[in-house]
Chains A and B, each alone.
Chain A
């Protein structure tokens, strides 16, 4: 599927690179996003308000009183070519603690039963690989991460929950996520992460950025409670879970 420019009203358009969840498409999204950030840093693209990267597309928000879709597309043409895809930046790598036990893992048993494997295998599969943060959305700081191993894939719950607790670590289809806030939700809840994902007082309020990678580290209930208490008391520096620092700031977060 080739690139398409989709209409999104009079103050935005979407550049769609494909129709799949695919790191190659994400690289093209990142290349365009990074290119725009560079032009803006140099004082270019007046009237461009912000961009929203997703799995396979980038939506450009602009002020129609200052610029227009056609003018912006002319300036962005160099970043829309296929060859630009190699320019994706490396994100940061995180190792985040997750407790997969007891009432913190309400869907663990059902998930294991539905997949026909042991609960320990579910945990081993989920915690056994690095996930890419494809995008953030749905809720402030909510990371869509993938890809979940084939052996761990289930459709969403038939009945979404009205209240998913904050910190819930969940899977649905090929994706995994952490709910930063209590909210309704239809994913399967496998555990709980005590690390706050969103802090409005930080210059970069979201802990994670698109392009980062995340590995989950199983911790005991005792350790989870200790970390949660520390987080609640404001004595937890989330940066301590940064495994390796990349050269950039994590993909042009504004």
Chain B
């Protein structure tokens, strides 16, 4: 299993799994899409190492991931507001996210912590994984995808070819973290709630609880009272469905959620805002804002245009003449190392 160049999972951190754009066409037999929670991060990470946009990536929550190059120099890139550390020949130095990094044989890359959000994506240049039902995405409940159907564990090896020649790439302007309300389309079962409950839903803060993973995010806030029955005849859920079970506390369903459910769904988070909601940490509060279905489609197109513009802005990093390790170590000491730091932007912009 370890023959040939590979990336070793030294530690998966809080939770890490292989994901790609997801598994389509099988919801009718109860198989959710799975796939990355934040497609934009996947596309940026893959673009930074020259992979196809929807090549499988390592999606990790809450930092702690540690990766080691084995058998060759490998090229990786981390998308996400992550604080990274590179260990080379026993020396540790900070490296920024949002750019590619070449790991020499034996180097270890760590996500020390997330500076914002919960999710980071690691693309590995040329990493090839077999597909199950059309996707490499891990869906642990049915043991589909990934390395062995489950989450990544320490000691696993992901086959990857030696890094190709060429400059490192960087994203000079990482996406901004919006604080705006999470946009939802009311329905499909908004009529199972009185107007007062809808007013409460759109007028109150909801707190993200500790029960938040790839299946869904359980929220806590003013209870939403049903009109009449608290169950429906099971119908389809979608990623973003907001179920309200009998206790009135909403649950937002995500990529790994079951494909059908018997709780009324008050609203659906639009695709553009699902990543932002999933990135909220336990204890954070959010608000919801209503948009129409047609507005949602328009926002989806605008989001796609933004993603393309971001990726089109990727630049080559100067190959030599700058002691990057020293630069970032200095920043680490002064506590300002950050993907959005002016130093980082200057570095990227200087190469254009």
Q: Are A6 and B187 in contact (CB under 8 A)?
A: yes
Say whether A176 faces chain B, with CB atoms less than 8 Å apart.
no
Q: Are B30 and A8 in contact (CB under 8 A)?
A: no
- Interface of chain A residues 175 through 213 with chain B (CB within 8 A): 181, 183, 198, 200, 205-206, 209-210
Chain B positions within 8 Å of A21 at CB level: 233
Chain A positions within 8 Å of B184 at CB level: 9
Name the CB-closest residue of B to A20: B233
Q: A14-B188, A65-B301 known; 13 other A-B pairs, CB under 8 Å?
A: A9-B240, A10-B268, A12-B236, A13-B293, A50-B28, A59-B236, A64-B301, A69-B293, A137-B30, A140-B31, A200-B143, A205-B133, A254-B26
The 9 closest A-B pairs by CB, nearest first: A10-B296, A137-B260, A9-B268, A6-B188, A59-B236, A7-B187, A206-B29, A52-B236, A64-B300
Chain A positions within 8 Å of B141 at CB level: 139-140, 181, 183
Chain B positions within 8 Å of A59 at CB level: 235-236, 238
Query: Could you tell me the distance in whole angstroms from the C-beta of B96 to the nearest C-beta in chain A?
Result: 31
Chain B positions within 8 Å of A52 at CB level: 27-28, 236, 259-260
Known A50-B28, A141-B29; judge A7-B235 contact (CB<8 A). Answer: no
Q: Are A11 and B238 in contact (CB under 8 A)?
A: yes
Name the CB-closest residue of B to A55: B233
- Interface of chain B residues 168 through 187 with chain A (CB within 8 A): 184-187
Q: C-beta contact mask, A38-69 vs B, less than 8 Å → 1, else 0?
A: 00000000000111111111010100110011
Q: Are A254 and B28 in contact (CB under 8 A)?
A: yes
Say whether B347 faces chain A, with CB atoms less than 8 Å apart.
no
Chain A positions within 8 Å of B259 at CB level: 52, 137-138
Q: How far is the CA of A29 from the CA of B229 in the complex (A)?
A: 24
Chain A contacts to B: CB under 8 angstroms: 6-14, 16, 19-21, 49-57, 59, 61, 64-65, 68-70, 135-142, 144, 181, 183, 198, 200, 205-206, 209-210, 253-254
Of the listed residues A55, A136, A181, the one surrounded by the most CB atoms of chain B closer than 10 A to its CB is A136
- Interface of chain B residues 14 through 46 with chain A (CB within 8 A): 24-31
Q: Are A9 and B260 in contact (CB under 8 A)?
A: no
Q: Are B144 and A57 in contact (CB under 8 A)?
A: no
Known A7-B188, A10-B293, A181-B141; judge A57-B29 contact (CB<8 A). Answer: no
Known A10-B296, A56-B235, A200-B142; judge A137-B258 contact (CB<8 A). Answer: yes
Q: How far is the CA of A155 from the CA of B297 in the complex (A)?
A: 41
Q: Are A11 and B300 in contact (CB under 8 A)?
A: yes
Q: How far is the CA of A56 from the CA of B233 in the complex (A)?
A: 8
Q: Are B300 and A10 in contact (CB under 8 A)?
A: yes
Query: Could you tell me the distance in whole angstroms from the C-beta of A145 to the nearest C-beta in chain B?
Result: 13
Q: Are B187 and A8 in contact (CB under 8 A)?
A: yes
Q: Are A210 and B28 in contact (CB under 8 A)?
A: yes
Q: Are A138 and B236 in contact (CB under 8 A)?
A: no
Say whether B299 faces chain A, with CB atoms less than 8 Å apart.
yes
Q: Are B296 and A136 in contact (CB under 8 A)?
A: no
Q: How far is the CA of A222 from the CA of B293 in the complex (A)?
A: 56
Chain A positions within 8 Å of B79 at CB level: none
Main SS at interface, chain A? loop
Query: Could you tell me the distance in whole angstroms from the C-beta of B186 to the nearest C-beta in chain A?
Result: 7
Name the CB-closest residue of A to B269: A9
Q: Are A10 and B25 in contact (CB under 8 A)?
A: no
Say whether B223 faces chain A, with CB atoms less than 8 Å apart.
no
Chain B contacts to A: CB under 8 angstroms: 24-31, 132-133, 141-144, 184-189, 233-236, 238, 240-241, 258-261, 265, 268-272, 293-297, 299-301, 304
Q: Which of A8, A19, A136, A183 contacts B268 (CB 8 A)?
A: A8
Name the CB-closest residue of B to A183: B141
Of the listed residues A12, A55, A135, the one surrounded by the most CB atoms of chain B closer than 10 A to its CB is A12
Q: Are A64 and B271 in contact (CB under 8 A)?
A: yes
Query: Could you tell me the distance in whole angstroms from the C-beta of A3 to the nearest C-beta in chain B?
Result: 13
Chain A positions within 8 Å of B189 at CB level: 6
Query: Could you tell me the distance in whole angstroms from the C-beta of B202 to the nearest C-beta in chain A?
Result: 15
Query: Could you tell me the distance in whole angstroms from the C-beta of B245 to the nearest C-beta in chain A?
Result: 13
Query: Could you tell me the distance in whole angstroms from the C-beta of B193 to the nearest C-beta in chain A?
Result: 14
Q: How far is the CA of A68 from the CA of B292 in the complex (A)?
A: 13
Chain B positions within 8 Å of A61 at CB level: 27, 238
Name the CB-closest residue of A to B270: A10
Q: Which of B26, B261, B265 contacts A205 (CB 8 A)?
A: B26
Q: How far is the CA of A13 from the CA of B296 in the complex (A)?
A: 12
Query: Could you tell me the distance in whole angstroms from the C-beta of B81 to the nearest C-beta in chain A?
Result: 25
Chain B positions within 8 Å of A139 at CB level: 30, 141-142, 258
Q: How far is the CA of A183 from the CA of B235 in the complex (A)?
A: 20
Q: Are A9 and B24 in contact (CB under 8 A)?
A: no
> Can you offer 26 A-B residue contacts whose CB atoms are under 8 A?
A6-B189, A7-B186, A7-B188, A9-B184, A9-B238, A9-B268, A9-B270, A10-B268, A14-B188, A20-B233, A50-B28, A52-B236, A54-B260, A55-B234, A64-B301, A137-B30, A137-B234, A138-B259, A138-B261, A140-B31, A142-B30, A144-B234, A183-B141, A200-B142, A205-B26, A206-B29
Chain B positions within 8 Å of A20 at CB level: 233
Chain B positions within 8 Å of A6 at CB level: 187-189
Q: Are A136 and B271 in contact (CB under 8 A)?
A: no
Q: How far is the CA of A46 from the CA of B188 in the complex (A)?
A: 24
Q: Which of B27, B258, B296 contacts A9 (CB 8 A)?
A: B296
Q: How far is the CA of A79 from the CA of B144 in the complex (A)?
A: 35
Q: How far is the CA of A68 from the CA of B240 in the complex (A)?
A: 18
Q: How far is the CA of A197 from the CA of B300 in the complex (A)?
A: 37
Query: Could you tell me the distance in whole angstroms from the C-beta of B288 to the nearest C-beta in chain A?
Result: 13
Q: Which of B132, B235, B268 contacts A16 (CB 8 A)?
A: B235
Of the listed residues A8, A135, A205, the one surrounded by the most CB atoms of chain B closer than 10 A to its CB is A8
